[in-house]
Chains A and B, each alone.
Chain A
Amino acid sequence: MPVIALVVLLAALTVADPGFLTLNSLTAAARTSAPLVVLAAGATLVVLCGGIDLSIAALCSLATVFFALWLPDLGGLTTVAVVAATAAIGAAQGVAHVLLRIPSFIVTLGGLSIFSAIALVISDAGPIRVVDRDVTHWLTLYVGGVVPMAFVVALLVVVVVSLVLRSTPLESWIRATGYSESAARLAGAPVDVVKVAAFTVSGACAGLAAIMLVSRNFSGSPTMADNLLLPAVAAIVVGGTAITGGHGSLWRSLAGALVVTLLRVGLPIVGVPSAYEQILYGAIIVAAVALTLDRSKVQIIK
């Protein structure tokens, strides 16, 4: 279903501007979507568990700063260090959520402002240029001359995480937690561990997305990714994952992220004036969800 939404949207954009459906255009869209796909994929896990992660974008911004700051010292290891750091931060949020029993919405909203503050302070409230581009250069390459490496990496994230979920008990634990946490707990499912793991992966994905952004912008900045929060959550929902938990998948979020990206870049490029662009954006994402949500799996729509 999300794929249908994607195709329809692409067709509509092509009708509006026949020049839109070119290989160049699609390549650019794919490259553009990569960080969003990664962010949405990570946060999807948290949503599947029935929670929400509002900190992904702020954490991603913080990670761009980390990257820019650490690169001179760590060189090639920076990538690993940044992802590890954001994973640890994600895990810390997960632990706060399960131990203190604070709703994930609040923990991550708090995280959002705390990460922003830290990023502002350690970056001295300004962008930090990344001069040594070798470390991120590989992300700007193209596989076979057309498929952007960043997008390939994003795809890999989706594939690998999906495979791990499917081939281990994690998937059934996550779904059980999302559908009915108390039943899952009384069945002895490791609910707390699963939740912390979801937040950890979400954090790691924020770190990876940050590296993609740095490879694109040649700098780290304390607000770089802040505006990706709503698009990322929108991508998850547009993909048809139930915001109430349990039902959904990373594949859906991938399609959702592509839809959202096309809307963000496509509408202005085909020449829709900005006021109408907003109105169309609003109408189309609602319509897209109407198309993608599998209502037999989600009885009550909140």
Chain B
Amino acid sequence: MSLRDAGPPVALVVVFGIFAALSPGFRTLSNVQNVLDAAAVLTVVTCGITFVLMMGSIDLSAPGIMGASAIAVALLVANNRNDNDYGLLGVVLAVLLGAGLGCLSGLALVTLKVPSFMTTLGISAVGLGVATLMFAGVQPNVSDRMLAGLAVERFLGLAHLTWIAFACVLVGWLVQRYSRLGRYAFAIGGAEEVLALSGVRVAPYKVAVFTMAGAFYGLAGVMVTSQLGAGLVQAGRGYDFSAIAAAVVGGTLLIGGRGGILHSAVGVLLVTVLTNGLVQVGVSPYWQGGVQGLIVVAAVAAAVIPQRRRNQVTK
């Protein structure tokens, strides 16, 4: 880790330290567990979005894809709306639905040559539409033991969902470091045209990255359903911007080519600690959003100050 990667972890430690000093409730073990549990869904979404950001693209499809997969999984496992009881298979199908939608935005990007900002915004709307269709006015409640258990049952003090999030980070890191897909995603962010000059066809890799991201969102939708015990069309509301913010706070560049899963994980923790800490120290709900925004900006500013260079491009 070079100096320029050190900013976000330092910010995390500092923010954590400040809250710990201010609030006795914050520094308890159970609250640390709570923070980790609360970070689970955002972590998984951010895992997906990180690869897209690494390519220099952007992805706003999380709300739609999560909504679709949340309703889908609720309707596929044992529930109050129909007689399905596919259990784990249902979960897999919901994740595949997410992957499929992600794949669509990737395909629209490479075949229609429409910027990812638009394709993913479009796919998000499509996902919400599909979710609303499946929702059909009656909330599907999950009665499946396994799915509901993921949020409730604990291992070493952490909910199973949190371990799933850990696993996603690990998988994401391995993909980023040891797979051609991950390295090419990184390279596409660095210099896409050069890959083409080296005889690499980038289009399939782009589609694959969006598909993988979609799968992560699909899983995140499943996780939200497990937490809420019901399939919600709005399961993913707001996750697009918070995931991007977390990734960027962690040091991933929006123009691509820098950062990675571990950066993003730090970013997610930073954001989650903030949310939790502000409630713990009792900041008025009116001010919370504002204080959070201010601290995020300050954290990023503090992180970039040591690496500022004269002719550095900031977009």
Contact = CB atoms under 8 A, between A and B. Distances in A.
Contacts, number: 163
Q: Contact size class for B?
A: 35 or more
Chain B interface main SS type: helix
A293 B116 contact: no
Contact of A117 (B117, B125, B289, B304): B289
A102 B301 contact: yes
A120 interface: yes
B281 to A, nearest CB: 16
Interface in A227-245: 230, 233-234, 237-238, 242-245
Interface string B117-159: 1110111111011101100000000000000000000000000
Interface stretch (B11-19, B89-97, B106-114, B170-178): B106-114
A138 interface: no
B313 interface: yes
Contacts of A182: 311, 313
Given A117-B286, A230-B121, A302-B256, A286 B129 contact: no
Nearest to A278: B129
Contacts of B293: 109-114, 117
Contacts of B121: 230, 234, 282, 285
Contact of A109 (B60, B112, B241, B308): B241
A50 interface: yes
Interface residues of A, number: 61
Interface string B64-99: 100000000000000000000000000000000000
A286 B119 contact: yes
B113 to A, nearest CB: 5
Contacts of A114: 289-290, 293-294
Interface in B238-271: 241, 244-245, 248-249, 253-254, 256
Contacts of B162: none
A286 B114 contact: yes
Interface stretch (B33-41, B51-59, B211-219, B221-229): B51-59
B300 interface: yes
Contacts of B55: 302
Greatest chain B CB density within 10 A among A97, A102, A290, A302 is at A302
A101 B304 contact: yes
B201 interface: no
Interface of B: 55-58, 60, 64, 108-109, 112-119, 121-126, 128-130, 132-133, 192-193, 241, 244-245, 248-249, 253-254, 256, 286-294, 296-297, 300-301, 304-305, 308, 311-315
Q: 7 closest pairs, A vs B, by CB?
A: A117-B290, A113-B293, A278-B129, A282-B125, A279-B129, A110-B297, A282-B122
